[in-house]
Amino acid sequence: MSGLRSQSATTTVAAPLLGWTMRRRLVPYLFFAPTLLALLAMYAYPIGQAFFVSLHRDSLGTRIGDFIGLENFVAVLTQPLFPELLFNTVVYTVGVVVCVWVLGVVTALLLFRTFPGRFLARGLVILPWAVPVVPVVASWQWLLNFDYGLFNAITHGLGFDRLDMLAASPGAMITVILVTSWKLFPLASVMFLAALQTIPDELYEAAEIDGANDWQQFLNVTLPGLRSVSMFVILLMTVTIFGRAFTIILLLTGGGPAGTTEVLALQTYHEAFQYFRMGSASALGMVVLAISLCITTLYLTLLFRRKDEA
């Protein structure tokens, strides 16, 4: 009996591998781990496969061509068309981001006011974003048709010349920018509307007491209150438009006239599914991804630096 007591007395409980503080810090990451694994499976493997294909010669079907290293990247970056594609992509991206931001802020300010039917208007503003791309493009093609479109019918009726907004430059680029902005601005409007509701009314009351008019209140109260959401909207739209958005251009102009609306994402699509050059398409896609990552990194660096200074 005494032996059992001495044995139990000398038994010690093993210390946990991680302390309480460390385990508490790891809990959020454990909850986030399933989502992270799903994202890795959805994005890491396709990106890795695209990079692998970009290092091989163009081939059809499932057969991988011969390994050629970085030759596809050199061919993509040195082709005479690349500077024009990059310029068109930058113009398209900047134009859409500016239009989406302006339309989003203006629409949010209008919907933030109290007026009859406000809830109905808030629901209707989502329609451009909710409607599929193909009906949207078909509607805009009819509206902007040179011969029988409603836009040219109105301008011709007012005594102006007809405008070819789909097959002439710079009208084609302006058209794809405006149509893309019209399709995407509801998303920005919802974000800005939610941000407006978080700005305290006391700030507007204090500004009004100080004699600030509506424009001064917008500059000194509203815009600072929308800064964080504006940063997110700009980053989201920039990455989306620069690296992914080409469907509207493909359906509306096909990259024409004479390549004036051809962007990097659309050229990647053409290389892969029109010319069947998978190696070149993968290399161009990796270039677009690298540029998008550089833009995101620069943007976040400037954002966090501004927060540190504040």
- Residues 71-109 have pLDDT tens digits of 888 888 888 888 999 999 999 999 999 999 999 999 999
Q: Which pTM does this prediction carry? A: 0.82
- Residues 24-61 have pLDDT tens digits of 788 888 888 888 888 888 888 888 888 888 888 876 66
- Can you give the pLDDT at residue 19? 65
- Mean of the per-residue pLDDT values of the chain: 83
- Can you give the pLDDT at residue 192? 93
- Residues 238-262 have pLDDT tens digits of 888 887 778 888 888 888 888 888 9
**CATH homologous superfamily of domain 82-261?**
MetI-like (1.10.3720.10)
Residues 11-23, mean pLDDT to the nearest whole number: 60
Residues 122-147, mean pLDDT to the nearest whole number: 87
Residues 161-185, mean pLDDT to the nearest whole number: 86
Residues 125-149, mean pLDDT to the nearest whole number: 86
- Can you give the pLDDT at residue 70? 86
In Å, what is the CA distance from 21 to each residue of 15, 17, 28, 32, 134?
14, 12, 13, 18, 53
Domain-by-domain residue ranges, the chain?
82-261
